[in-house]
Amino acid sequence: MREIVLDTETTGLDPLRGDRLVEIGCVEMLNKIATGANFHVYINPERDMPIEAFNVHGLSSEFLRDKPVFAKVAQEFLDFIADSPLVIHNAAFDIGFINAELARIGQSPLTFDRVIDTLALARRRHPNASNRLDDLCSRYGIDASRRTKHGALLDSELLAEVYSELAGGRQAALILMSAETVVRREERTQSAEPLLRPVPLKVRVSDEEMAAHAAFVKTLGDAAIWKDYLDPAPAAEDA
């Protein structure tokens, strides 16, 4: 199954108050494994960059000034994600910004029925722990040392690894037994002596109960496959 891990960077926290997208990063996954096919673009937000946002991702107004506006890259972005499920950490934030940009150019919004929110998955898996991306990377032994600042593509790459773990684990350390090991185990099992009780258990069924059971079994005729244990065949007559 094809899935797209997605992350964005923005000028702030609220698209309804004029904050805009400045970066989109996407990583394609097939069956929970990254394929190497990515989509990445910087976007001119057509406004200034607040210092608070710059401190998070390091993208300045000067750097973004010659980058394309969202309208120029929207179709390429939509073609890349197609109708695949979208894997996003704290999805309401990113989807809110993307849909605000789509609305500005008259495009239909992305719907939440195609979204897999890894923050919600992590909270169910680790209800009493911090579930920021850095925390999850540390918890699952994923190297996030390159992440000195937020970046949409890098964060998508890290989230793809986290998502693999949340979805069941990468099984990178799975060790299978060799055929020789299986044979040795079978030989040990076959050669093992059965263990006997030093003192046999007492029979708890009375003679009357045994007789009643034997009489009932005889009424079953040949259907009673265990009847020979109760009524063994007579020994062959001497010739």
Residue among 57, 126, 150, 213 flagged as catalytic: 150
Between the CA atoms of 49, 52, 55 and 59, what dihedral angle is there, to the nearest 10 degrees?
Answer: -20
What are the strands of the beta sheet with 2-10, ordered from one edge?
33-42, 21-30, 2-10, 86-88, 115-117
Whether 214 contacts 230, CB under 8 Å:
yes
Measured in residues, the chain has a length of 239
Measured CA to CA, the distance from residue 30 to residue 51 in angstroms comes to 38
Closest among 33, 35, 7 to 168, alpha carbons compared: 33
The 10 Å Cβ neighbour count of residue 189 is 8
150 is a catalytic site residue: yes
Measured CA to CA, the distance from residue 125 to residue 118 in angstroms comes to 10
Measured CA to CA, the distance from residue 43 to residue 41 in angstroms comes to 6
Q: Please list, residue by residue across 65-84, b when 16 or more beta carbons sit within 10 angstroms of its beta carbon and e when fewer do.
A: eebebbeebbeebeebbeeb
Measured CA to CA, the distance from residue 131 to residue 135 in angstroms comes to 6
Beta bridge partners of 8: 24
Q: Which residues are catalytic?
A: 150
